[in-house]
Amino acid sequence: MSYGSLDDDAVESYREAGAVLVEAMNEAREMVEPGRTHLEVAEWAEDFIRESGAGIAFPVNVSVDEEASHATPGRDDDTEFGEEMVCLDIGVHVDGYIADAAVTVDHTGTDDLVEAAETALSAAVDEAGPGVEVGVVGQAIEETIRGYGYTPVLNLSGHGVERYDAHTGPSVPNRGVDRSVELQPGQVVAIEPFATDGRGKVGEGTDEEIYELQHERSVRDRRARQTLERIAEFDGLPFAARWLEGDGVDMALRRLKRQNVVKGYPVLKESDDALVSQAEHTMLITEDGVEVTTAGIHGFD
């Protein structure tokens, strides 16, 4: 099987990242149950990834009910799961080569909302391949979700994945688009349908626990300088505020944000406060099809 511009080492690293992610996800999703805390699940998954010899591509996202993305617990967060819809989004890298996947665990009784996203993902994987326009993939997602009586989240999309960068082109929409780019051999893409019983738009909330280095520059404040040295260890990938330790670190992080050294990722929420489900796989585009690196997650393939 030919992988276009990807060499054998890159392909193997993408596969290894996917294998670690599948193990982490299968265990973590079983931990999502009433009475257990968000922080316990996130830290377990992140520790598992590190102990497996891989790296964390971004903080484990634990999004609840109307939250669609960018939610991760804070340092001392004791929030427990309840009768909620919980999306887990996990990213793993091996030598910078990333796997990204998400599942939704439902404790609300709205099982077909989860099924809508998972079936849409399956339809998208079946549609994807070299020479296929991303708008055609989006059409498969939209038709599947609307067939369940729900709405795709229209202003979120799948994305390309490159070394040490989990969000690159091409954008893979969650709706049909008339004119769009074609998938090419050698590309790695993460396809992630979001389904909702709202109108299908998300906006930024006020909570913010995930950050990313934006510009490396000198800073005068000693604490901010020390914090920046720690941030540099994350290889330019997103990090959680709770990963930083020490007195004054939160103030230093705010200072770095004001100076545009780091940027924050506010939690994205469905604008009607409606429930959101998500399903996601990462795949390599080959000369004659696709290889899903995150296949094997319990509940969907």
pLDDT 10s digits, 119-136: 999 999 999 999 999 999
Q: What is the pLDDT of residue 97?
A: 98
Query: What residue ranges define each of the domains in the chain, with the CATH number in brackets?
Result: 8-204+272-292 (3.90.230.10), 206-265 (1.10.10.10)
Closest CA to 198 of 150, 239, 129: 150
Average pLDDT over residues 55-77: 96
Q: What is the pLDDT of residue 215?
A: 83
pLDDT level of residue 179 (50, 70, 90 thresholds)? confident
Q: Please tell me the least confidently modeled range out of 120-124, 181-185, 197-201, 221-225.
A: 221-225
Average pLDDT over residues 56-68: 97
The Cα 100–Cα 22 span in angstroms is 10
The Cα 292–Cα 44 span in angstroms is 25
Q: What is the pLDDT of residue 147?
A: 97
Secondary structure (3-state) at 190: strand
Catalytically annotated residues:
89, 100, 159, 167, 192, 280
Q: What is the pLDDT of residue 255?
A: 92
Q: What is the pLDDT of residue 300?
A: 67
Other beta carbons within 10 Å of 197: 18
Mean pLDDT of the chain: 94
pLDDT 10s digits, 264-276: 999 999 999 999 9
Q: Is the pLDDT of residue 57 over 70?
A: yes
The Cα 249–Cα 209 span in angstroms is 13
Is the separation of the CB atoms in 27 and 298 below 8 Å?
no
